[in-house]
């Protein structure tokens, strides 16, 4: 019996990845590092440290360790929560589910941004929030999902995860969780390791309604 749903945030609940990508692009550019901001979509789900590591690992020059603090700090300044929009139907969907199920979010974004987005679009909806600021290894490591399950106090076989990024799917599967893939920003083939891949949010809402009611 399903007792809990665990959602990634960016790309699943809110349409925000283009804003994250542009903020990262600008922050890195100000630090003298240039890259194609579309690469961020493949890194989605990683925390700040993970993204800096992935962007800089292929650079043929020495990187000051201070960049692990300065670039994310600047990115957080540039990311404007007010420009984020909720995906159609997700707010109503979760309002209909929250009285019968435990709900959690697991995001690689910093806690401040996640709290602002949840407070704006999904107030008093989630029982547990795990963010990239929680001092644990980020996706694709399973720790964020393990932490969410532990805090929810449920068995893993009674949880469903909804993810839209390859790193997130890998994290959920490594944690031993049933995972739905939602190809919001990447091709569906990149989510092939999910237990189920749906086409869009309309299909997701219909699936949750049919499965859980």
The CATH class that applies to domain 17-81 reads mainly alpha
pLDDT band at 58 (very low <50, low <70, confident <90, very high): confident
* Model pLDDT, residue 213: 72
Lowest mean pLDDT among 1-15, 24-38, 84-98: 24-38
Dist. CA 5–CA 161, nearest whole Å: 6
Over residues 38-51, the mean pLDDT reads 86
Residue 75: name the closest of 109, 106, 50, 46 by CA: 109
Joined tokens for residue 105: 């979010």
The region, left, alpha or beta by phi > 0 then psi within -120 to 50, assigned to residue 91 is alpha
Residue 15: name the closest of 194, 187, 182 by CA: 182
17-81 and 4-16+84-212 share a CATH fold: no
Over residues 100-110, the mean pLDDT reads 95
The domain locations on the chain are 4-16+84-212, 17-81
pTM: 0.91
Q: What is the pLDDT of residues 115-171, one digit of tens each?
A: 999 999 999 999 999 998 898 899 999 999 999 999 999 999 999 999 999 999 999
The CATH class that applies to domain 4-16+84-212 reads alpha beta
* Model pLDDT, residue 212: 81
């Amino acid at each position: 019996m399903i007792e809990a749903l665990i959602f990634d945030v960016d790309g699943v609940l809110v349409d925000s990845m283009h804003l994250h990508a542009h903020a990262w692009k600008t922050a890195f550019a100000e630090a003298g590092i240039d890259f194609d901001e579309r690469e961020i979509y493949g890194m989605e789900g990683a925390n700040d440290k993970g993204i800096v590591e992935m962007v800089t690992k292929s650079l043929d020059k020495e990187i000051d360790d201070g960049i692990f603090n300065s670039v994310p700090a600047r990115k957080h300044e540039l990311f404007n929560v007010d420009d984020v929009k909720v995906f159609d139907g997700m707010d109503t969907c979760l309002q209909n589910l929250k009285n019968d199920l435990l709900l959690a979010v697991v995001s690689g974004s910093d806690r401040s941004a996640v709290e602002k987005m949840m407070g704006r679009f999904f107030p008093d909806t989630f029982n547990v929030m795990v963010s990239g600021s929680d001092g644990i290894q980020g996706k694709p490591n399973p720790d964020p999902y393990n932490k969410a399950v532990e805090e929810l106090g449920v068995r893993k076989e009674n949880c469903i995860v909804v993810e839209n990024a390859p790193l997130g799917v890998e994290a959920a599967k490594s944690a031993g969780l049933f995972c739905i893939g939602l190809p919001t920003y990447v091709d569906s083939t990149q989510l092939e390791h999910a237990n189920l891949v749906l086409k869009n949010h309309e299909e997701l809402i219909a699936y949750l309604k049919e499965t859980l009611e």
